[in-house]
A and B are shown apart, each in its own frame.
Chain A
Amino acid sequence: MRLNTFLTLCLLPLALTVVAFFLLPMARLVAVGATGPSGIAAYAAILIEPRYRGTLVNTILLSAATTAATLAIATVAGIFLQRHRFPGRAVLVALLTFPLAFPGVVVGFMIILLAGRQGLIGEITLALFGDKQVWAYSMQGLFLGYLYFSIPRVILTIMAAVEKLDTSLEEAARALGAGPWAVMRDVVLPALVPAFIASGAIAFATAMGAFGTAFTLATDIDVLPMLIYTEFTLSANVATAAALSVGLGLVAWAILALARSIAGNTIAAAG
């Protein structure tokens, strides 16, 4: 058998699977999106119809807030963990990355235990201020959930990026009289920008498309994945659900593609 024939045979099963269970279905999704009463205009409705646009804006704002908060938290913790060696460090790193494999539903349950009706935060605020704080079943809950979900991933990326930094640049800056803040602001953080872009894009795209956490917390949270879900199952509005999913897919893909073209390789996995 010639090499080329062999290689084609190697690739064939994968090609058939991907065409049958991914490319054809996605093409069908795009086509179905245009079968509603308004036809192709259904895609424009995502931006024009106030209800859909409101949800889209909500989702983008929530995702942006999650991304910014995650980056800030993970940068402080990631730089610290990579730059210091102390007893218990390995355990701390393991604890911080332990939730990596939690699906969105489990993350939702974690937030309920933390900030739900019988949650820890409620108990503490009740004991301290006589006022029970319940955040879980709303946008705040979803924000906490996405933080929970993204922090482990982003910390890992930032730690890897810090490890690769050239420490002689920092030493030079210090030798020239720069204080720790100046070194951080002018040397370390600028060098981490590619890592911020790559991991921020993943956090953003994941928050845009994540469904399990919102589903566990409350079905009336006004974000795009929940809207798609209710349009499809409750309203049987298949065309709109398809159009919205295509829109959501395009946004998520575009963000990741853009980040990759700026900062190199990114790989995402939404639970």
Chain B
Amino acid sequence: MLKTVTRWRDRLIFSAQLAFTLLVAAFLIVPAVLSMMAGVTVNYFRGIRSGVTLEWIAQVWDLYADTIVRSFLIALSALVVTLVIGVPAAYALYVRRGSLARLVEEIITLPLAIPGLAIALALLLTYGGFSDFRRSWLFILAGHVVFTLPFMVRSVIAVFAATDVRTLDEGAASLGASPWRRFRDVIVPNARPGILAGALMVVTLSLGEFNLTWMLHTPLTKTLPVGLADSYASMRLEVASAYTLVFFVMIIPLLVAMQVFAGWGTRR
């Protein structure tokens, strides 16, 4: 008797929790689905009955193709810069685990705690006068590098720590390999999982960055999220939705790659 009561009670608790979790998932997913549908619907207010069309996507391409191309350009450039300056720095910070290294790590992580608006304002106040730099997409790139760099550095350091790269490095050193050869042949190959995870983060964050970019952009250097904000304010709902759909299509493969990759990491 008591056993049946307990079982019923457990089943009730399970069902209530499941219902709650489904409700939370609906809160997150329903608007995203609505937006994807609106992007291919002839008239959102009359619903999907009004027909399915690619007209809005075509309009987005006409109006905003440059923002999409520029966002990719900036994201890939941010990736290159964070790789070139981040990976060697991660190695140096890992090998030299002193208080100075900790301070440097602390400083490069600060942009995660300080709101993007403040960093953008700081960049504007410092470099706003250099009008050629201010007007080019490189100005936005500078902001994105500051913001994404900590993800690359920390993710590479985490892999160094997990695979005990120091021992490998010392082994190679005892065989007489020069620091550069050790870096190229031992350190970088061993850091590959961290580099990949960091790279996915950098590209995803750069593609979606708005807080900094809104302040740093000019009418000629709009990125995708800036264009999105623009379309939300001034375009019909279907066009804004189609644009959002384009963004989802760009970002979802990156998210899936990150999840698959995180899965590998935990299984090993």
Residues in B with CB closer than 8 Å to A61 are none
- Given A23-B107, A92-B21, A99-B28, A252 contacting B114 (CB threshold 8 A): yes
Chain B residues engaging chain A, CB cutoff 8 angstroms: 9-10, 13-14, 17-18, 20-22, 24-25, 27-32, 34-35, 38, 44-45, 81, 84-86, 88-89, 91-93, 95-96, 104, 107-119, 121-123, 125-127, 142-143, 145-146, 149, 151, 153-154, 173, 178-180, 183, 204-205, 208-211, 214-215, 225, 228-229, 232-233, 237, 240-241, 244, 247, 251, 254-255, 259
- Given A14-B89, A112-B232, A271-B210, A232 contacting B121 (CB threshold 8 A): yes
Q: Decide yes or no whether A216 CB sits under 8 A from chain B.
A: yes
Q: Decide yes or no whether A134 CB sits under 8 A from chain B.
A: no
Contact at A98–B92, with CB atoms within 8 Å?
no
Chain A residues engaging chain B, CB cutoff 8 angstroms: 1-3, 6-11, 13-15, 17-18, 21-26, 28-29, 32, 73, 76-77, 79-81, 84, 86, 92, 94-106, 108-114, 118, 120, 147-148, 151-152, 180, 205, 208-212, 215-216, 225, 228-229, 232, 238, 241-242, 245-246, 248-249, 252-253, 256-257, 267-271
- Given A17-B149, A211-B116, A76 contacting B142 (CB threshold 8 A): no
CA distance A76 to B208 in the complex (A): 29
Q: Which 10 A-B pairs have the closest CB atoms?
A: A209-B115, A25-B122, A10-B88, A6-B179, A245-B118, A14-B89, A110-B31, A29-B122, A103-B208, A10-B92
Contact at A29–B118, with CB atoms within 8 Å?
yes
With beta carbons under 8 angstroms apart, the residue of A106, A229, A252, A268 that contacts B228 is: A106
With beta carbons under 8 angstroms apart, the residue of A2, A108, A212 that contacts B214 is: A212
Contact at B113–A252, with CB atoms within 8 Å?
yes
- Given A17-B85, A114-B30, A108 contacting B232 (CB threshold 8 A): yes
- Given A29-B122, A113-B38, A209-B116, A103 contacting B209 (CB threshold 8 A): yes
Contact at B179–A1, with CB atoms within 8 Å?
yes
Q: Do most interface residues of chain B lie in helix, strand or loop, or is the interface mixed?
A: helix
Contact at B113–A205, with CB atoms within 8 Å?
yes
Q: Do most interface residues of chain A lie in helix, strand or loop, or is the interface mixed?
A: helix
Please, which residue of chain A has its CB at the minimum distance from the CB of B169?
A3
Which of B85, B122, B180 counts the most A-chain CB atoms under 10 A from its CB?
Answer: B122
- Given A113-B35, A211-B214, A92 contacting B25 (CB threshold 8 A): yes
Residues in B with CB closer than 8 Å to A13 are 84-85, 88-89
Contact at B232–A109, with CB atoms within 8 Å?
yes
With beta carbons under 8 angstroms apart, the residue of A2, A81, A216, A249 that contacts B232 is: A216
CA distance A150 to B225 in the complex (A): 19
Which of B34, B88, B180 counts the most A-chain CB atoms under 10 A from its CB?
Answer: B88
- Given A98-B32, A101-B251, A21 contacting B125 (CB threshold 8 A): no
CA distance A255 to B200 in the complex (A): 28
